[in-house]
Amino acid sequence: MAAFESLTSRLQSVFGKLRGKGKVTEDDVNEAMREVRLALLEADVNFKVVKDFIARVKERAIGQEVVKSFTPGMVIIDIVNKELTELMGGTQAKLAKAAKPPTVIMMAGLQGAGKTTASAKLALMLQKGGHKPLLAACDIYRPAAIKQLQVLGGQIGVPVFSLGDKVNPVDIARQALQHAKDEGRDYLIIDTAGRLHIDEALMEELRQIHEAVKPDEVLLVVDAMIGQEAVNVAQSFHEQLELTGIVLTKLDGDTRGGAAISVKAVTGCPIKFVGMGEKIEPLEPFHPDRMASRILGMGDMLSLIEKA
Amino acid sequence: MSFFKKLRESISAKAEAVTNKFREGLGKTASAIAGKVEELVLRRKKIDEAFYEELEEILIGADVGVTTVMRLTDELREEVRKRKIEDASELQPILSEKLVALLREGADEGLRMAESGTTVILFVGVNGVGKTTTIGKLAHRFKSEGKSVLMAAGDTFRAGAIDQLEEWGRRVGVEVVKQQPGADPAAVMYDAIRAAKQRGVDVLLCDTAGRLQNKTNLMEELNKIYRVIQREMPGAPHEVLLVLDATTGQNALSQAKLFGEKSGVTGIVLTKLDSTAKGGIVVAIRSELKLPVKLVGLGEKMDDLQEFDAEQFVHALFAGAIDKEAEAGSAG
Ligand SMILES: Nc1nc2c(ncn2[C@@H]2O[C@H](COP(=O)(O)OP(=O)(O)OP(=O)(O)O)[C@@H](O)[C@H]2O)c(=O)[nH]1
Ligand SMILES: Nc1nc2c(ncn2[C@@H]2O[C@H](COP(=O)(O)OP(=O)(O)OP(=O)(O)O)[C@@H](O)[C@H]2O)c(=O)[nH]1
Ligand SMILES: [Mg+2]
Ligand SMILES: [Mg+2]
């Protein structure tokens, strides 16, 4: 929002006044770090994650680079940017592959995060890569959830396995796996109902699905607009399901998406893909460097640094 | 009388069942903020920079938002200076008082209904926040109040959106005005208003497709829907409710601002408060945009809808502190 004009200009005003002084002190760095902290909090990075992060960056900044620099603001942004990028991991748009097909992918997440849409996008991506995916409709709760998946499957020409909404999702998943084997489908994508991470009964259901189909890939679908709760959500899902990756959705919006950092920090799982729209197009790979500059709100800053 | 006592009395005057449901729904939120503030006050008896920083973290951790939190702590610093407060525990009631004040900014009235004829309520918001579900719940509420209700399937875009609303219609026994998937949503609204007039229904609930507020063309489409409703029925829409997911972070402010500009938002529905999210963003929205929260969603079932009550919200947030004070009061 408006308050977040830009980290660059904020850092400039921190360091601007010491032009005359000519030397960056530890106090100056501390003041700069307060600005970095605010920037990250405004981007919805979890405050605990911010705390650790700031401590690390401060150490590096005071260590050497900044104090000696003529452009301390730039150096700090550069350090922050690099640390953030590193924190979010390398580009990892790779899916696990089962030794013996089908590879089973399970989608999980809060209500409305974008699981069903991401399932269809994933199926399309695989299909375009020459694979034969099968979608399984395991959300029996949300009104018309099955219909939604069937429509999407129809749009992209990927079959959808469904047993209606009267059969237990665990059984649906199990039978879908059998069906995939029988039909020679090499990927099975299981769409599950949205649920709160504190809903014990529904989390137990996910564990049972997990147990029944032994997925090769368990993807947590996270809405990029999520706030501070991202940490608790990711942690609980990870504890119960041993996640293997994250899909960050709705990045076509204007959110800074600080949750990307939080989620990665607490689960250690790579963010494998991002969702960039409502239309069913293949999921896109995640770029940590782009995400870092987005979170810092400085898309064009990077080119400046590169030129410097 | 102390602030907490007043709050307590005003709440106990309300129907107990309502209060309980609200508190239960907010249980996790409540213990989160109140517990942490209390713990902070006990641990750090002194009010220093570290104290403020931790306080900031508690509030930011609830998604209250940096700008609002900074303003709040600035005000607290001011009070501390003026009143020469030294003990952290003295600060707690002042903080609660300030929070309630923020939540009360902007009138706190219920849903605005038409004086005569059909009340039209338009639902807007980003993708997946709970618009369609809230419409289903609200239809159920109006029906059980004996009102006649009609729903308009204005989401012609998302796969299965019309079916989802129709399923809600079956559940709660309300009819849906619809067209084919892909149809012009403004045309659906036109049909719906005519049908509502013809049948003389009490309430028309209009669903729209989720859209991100930075999508110019989709926001223009929404603006068109809004204008068609205004044109076809003078005085309508009587409410334009922006549906917000309680787990949303700072982006909610941008949502409130831009949806407000394109569709004249009159109030907020805060959904998914049954999660562990604190919905603190509402405090920021109230203080920055003066939009009242009209309803809260506390689950996926048709009964999981409640009126928002600023006092109860803060009561729930500070439940622990209030009970303590009451004990101290009765002992002394
Ligand atoms: N703009 C945008 N919208 C998205 C994206 N991914 C999903 N959506 C929309 O978000 C809403 C929710 O998506 P779903 O796929 O139904 O979410 P879900 O997690 O399956 O929801 P539940 O099954 O109800 O828990 C829909 O309106 C989607 O069109 C995205 O990357 N960008
Ligand atoms: N736990 C919980 N889930 C909710 C609540 N309200 C809605 N949901 C769930 O959130 C998901 C999305 O709800 P929808 O009503 O489809 O949201 P929408 O805003 O209409 O979504 P789009 O039309 O795709 O933009 C569904 O799985 C709902 O069951 C709530 O108050 N609590
Ligand atoms: Mg779904
Ligand atoms: Mg909807």
Contacts of B217 (CB under 8 A, 6+ apart): none
- Above 70 in pLDDT, residue A2? no
- What confidence score (pLDDT) does residue B331 get? 43
Chain B residues closer than 8 Å to A196 by CB: 272, 274-276
pLDDT of res. B25 = 59
For residues A176 and A169, what is the distance between their CA atoms, to the nearest angstrom? 10
User: Which protein residue has the closest C-alpha to ligand 1 atom 3?
Assistant: A278
**Better pLDDT: A6 or A148:** A148
Q: What is the ipTM of this complex?
A: 0.94
Between B91-104 and B281-289, two packed helices, what is the crossing angle to 10 degrees?
Answer: 60
Pull the structure tokens for residue B150.
């009609």
pLDDT score, position B332: 35
- What would the DSSP string read from start to end of A183-218? HT-SEEEEEE----TT-HHHHHHHHHHHHHH--SEE
In the prediction, which pLDDT does B330 show? 47
How many other C-beta atoms lie within 10 A of the C-beta of residue B70?
Answer: 15
Whole-number average pLDDT of chain A: 89
Do the Cβ atoms of B124 and B209 come closer than 8 Å? no
**Predicted local distance difference test score (pLDDT) of residue A3:** 38
Residue B28: what pLDDT?
55
Q: What is the mean pLDDT of residues A252-281?
A: 94
Task: List, for residues B92-112, the tens digit of each pLDDT value.
Answer: 778 877 877 777 765 556 899
Alpha carbon of A98: minimum distance to chain B alpha carbons (Å): 31
Closest chain A residue to B279, measured at CA = A227
Q: Of B256, B260, B204, give the one whose Cα is nearest residue B229.
A: B204
Residue located nearest, by CA, to atom 4 of ligand 1? A278
Question: Which DSSP string corresponds to B2-68?
Answer: -HHHHHHHHHHTS-HHHHHHHHHHTHHHHHHHHHHHHHHHHH--B-SHHHHHHHHHHHHHTT--HHH
Q: Is the pTM of this model over 0.90?
A: yes
Q: List CB-based neighbours of ion ligand 3 within 5 Å.
A: A 115-116
Q: Residue range B306-316: average pLDDT? A: 73
User: Residue range A185-214: average pLDDT?
Assistant: 97
User: Higher model confidence: residue B106 or residue B270?
Assistant: B270
**Mean per-residue pLDDT for A292-308?**
63
- Please, which pLDDT band fits residue B250 given cuts at 50, 70 and 90? very high
Close Cβ partners of B170 (under 8 Å, ≥ 6 residues apart)? none
> For the residues B125-154, what does the mean pLDDT come to?
98
* Identity of the residue in B212, B257, B276 whose CB atom sits nearest the CB atom of A232: B276
pLDDT score for A158: 98
Do A47 and B61 lie within an 8 Å CB cutoff? Answer: yes
Q: Tell me the binding residues of B for GTP.
A: 125-132, 207-211, 271-274
Instruction: Looking at mean pLDDT, say which of A3-17, B45-59, B177-191, B261-275 comes out highest.
Output: B177-191
Share of chain B above pLDDT 90, in %: 54
d(CA A174, CA A119): 18
In the A/B pair of chains, how many CB contacts fall below 8 A? 145
Read off the pLDDT of residues A38-65 as tens digits, 9 standing for 90 and up. 889 999 999 999 999 999 988 888 776 6
Examine the pLDDT at B328 and tell me if it is beyond 60. no
Quick one: average pLDDT of B187-214?
A: 98
Q: Using an 8 Å Cβ cutoff, are B272 and B245 in contact?
A: yes
Could you report the per-residue pLDDT of B24-70, keeping only the tens digit for each? 656 555 556 667 777 787 788 788 888 888 888 888 988 988 888 98
Summary mean pLDDT of chain B: 85
CB spacing of A228 vs B213 below 8 angstroms? no
Sign of torsion, CA A204 A208 A214 A219? negative
B110-135 residue pLDDT tens: 899 999 999 999 999 999 999 999 99
**What is the model's pLDDT at position A304?**
47
B62 and A41: CB-CB below 8 Å? no
Kindly report which listed range (A32-41, A61-70, A148-157, B23-32) carries the lowest average pLDDT score: B23-32
Is residue A248 within 8 Å of residue A262, measured between CB atoms?
no
SS3 B123: strand
Answer left, alpha or beta for residue B65, where phi above 0 means left and psi between -120 and 50 means alpha.
Answer: left
Structure tokens at A291: 């995400």
* DSSP code, position B300: S
From B208, B244, B300, mutation site for ligand 2 pocket: most ligand atoms within 8 A of C-beta: B300
Q: If pLDDT is split at 50, 70 and 90, which confidence band does B1 have?
A: very low
Mean pLDDT of A158-182: 98
Instruction: Give the range among A37-51, A124-138, A260-274, B41-55 with minimum mean pLDDT.
Output: B41-55
* B124, B127, B168, B255, best to mutate for ligand 1 pocket (most atoms within 8 Å of CB): B127
Answer whether B196's CB lies under 8 Å from B147's CB. Answer: no
DSSP conformation class of B87: B
Q: What percent of chain A has pLDDT over 90?
A: 70
Give the pLDDT mean for B267-295. 87
CA distance A229 to chain B (A): 6
Chain B residues within 8 A of A227 when measuring between CB atoms:
63, 247-250, 277, 281
Task: Tell me how crowded residue B90 is: count the other CB atoms within 10 A of its CB.
Answer: 14
The residue among B49, B243, B250, B253 with the most chain A CBs within 10 A of its CB, best to mutate, is B250
Name all domains of chain B by residue range, CATH numbers in brackets.
Answer: 3-107+314-331 (1.20.120.140), 119-309 (3.40.50.300)
Contacts of A150 in chain B (CB under 8 A): 160
**Helix, strand or coil, per DSSP, at residue A281:** coil
d(CA A143, CA B161): 9
How many A from CA of B82 to the centre of ligand 3?
Answer: 54
Q: What is the pLDDT of residue B317?
A: 58
Give per-residue pLDDT as tens, A77-116: 888 888 999 999 866 668 999 999 999 999 999 999 999 9
Pocket probe mutation, ligand 2, options A111, A146, A226, A250, max atoms within 8 Å of Cβ: A111
Which 3 state secondary structure label does DSSP give B204? strand
- The pLDDT, as a whole number, for residue A308 is 42
